[in-house]
A = this chain, B = another copy of it.
Amino acid sequence: MSYAISMDDIRSAAAQIKGAAVRTPLLEHPALNDAVGGRVFIKPENLQRIGAFKFRGAYNRLSRLTDAEKARGVVAFSSGNHAQGVAKAAEMLGIKATIVMPEDAPKLKLANTRSYGAEVVLYDRYNEDREEVAKRVVGDSGATVVPPYNDPYIMAGQGTVGLEIAEDLKNLGLTPDQTLVNCGGGGLASGTFLALHDAFPTMTGYAVEPEEFDDVTRSLKSGVIEKVDFGARSVCDALLTPSAGDLTFPILKDIGIQGVTVSDEEAMAAVRFAAISLKLVTEPGGAAALAALLAGKVEVEGKVTVIVLSGGNIEPEMLASCVGNAQ
C-alpha cells in the first residue's frame, strides 16, 4: 500500500524538528492507573512548544520551503493550535505568517498566535465562506497556504509523536495493546498510528472524537469519508473539523483504526482529572482520549494502553471553571 507518507518521511521529520520541538517524555501516573484499573502511558504533548503537538508538523512543513517560498510568506487557517504552530515555526524560521482565525477562537489562542509575531485575520466561521476569505488573504502575494492536516509534511511531523512513543516503549521492553489518539482531521492520528503500527503491528488503535464531530468514527465504519452534521458544536475546539482528509483517512482505514466518541461533559471531567490528579493542564480537545478511558469506553484491565494528551491551550477561565466544579 502506498500512502501520502512513509516511515522514512516520519524519520526525516524527526531529524528536521530535532532541537526545535520538545522531545516530550512518556509518563506513567499511578493515579491514572488506579482510576482506570490498567497500565496507561501518557504522551504529554501539552508540554510541547506552543502547548500542542501542532508545532511538529508546522515546523517540518515550513522548514522545507525554498528560500523563494519563505520570502513570500505563509498563510494558515486555524481555530487555534495549528495557528500557534505555524506562527511560532514562522517566527523561528524568519518567515512572515498570516493566520486566518475564526473570531470566536479561544482568546488565549488568538493572543498566543499574535505573540509569536503573526498577523491575525479574523472571520465569522458560521456566516463567511472560508474559501472566499482565503482568496482575499492570499491575494496575489504568492504566499504558501499551510494546511492543518491534509499535507504529507504536516502528517509526517505529527507522526514523530508515534515514533517517540515507540522508542520509549521499546526502551521499557513493552508492547502496547492499544493507543488512543484525539482526532480532528486525522493529521496526528494518521502519522502517529502509522509509526506505531510499524513498531507494533498487533496494536489496536482508537481515534477519539467529540460526539457531534464523529465523522471519522462513521467513516471508519462506512469505509468512505463522511462529513460532520451541519450545526455540530463541541467544547473541544481543537477537534472541530468537517471531515478527515483524503491523505489522512486511507491510513486510518487500512490500519484498522476504530472510532470512539466522548461528550463535552466527559471531556471537561477529564480536564479536571488531569489537573487535579495528574497535575497536567489540558484543553478539552486535548483530553478526549483521557476522557474515553475515564468514561470506560475502552477496556484497559490487564492491558498496556497509551494515550496522547494532544494539547493544553485552555482558556484560563475555562480551566478555572473545570477545576472549580465539584467532582
Contact = CB atoms under 8 A, between A and B. Distances in A.
A279 B323 contact: no
B27 A47 contact: yes
Closest A-B pairs by Cβ, 4 of them:
A279-B312, A25-B25, A320-B320, A320-B324
B29 A47 contact: yes
A320 B108 CA distance: 16
A31 B323 CA distance: 23
Contacts of A282: 279
Contacts of A29: 22, 47, 49
A29 B50 CA distance: 10
Chain A interface, DSSP helix/strand/loop, else mixed: helix
Interface residues of A, number: 30
A323 B312 contact: no
Contacts of A49: 29-31
B27 A25 contact: yes
Contacts of A27: 25, 47
Interface string A186-217: 00000000000000000000000000000000
Contacts of A317: 324
Interface string A67-87: 000000000000000000000
A283 to B, nearest CB: 9
7 contacts: A22-B29, A27-B47, A275-B275, A275-B316, A281-B281, A316-B323, A320-B320
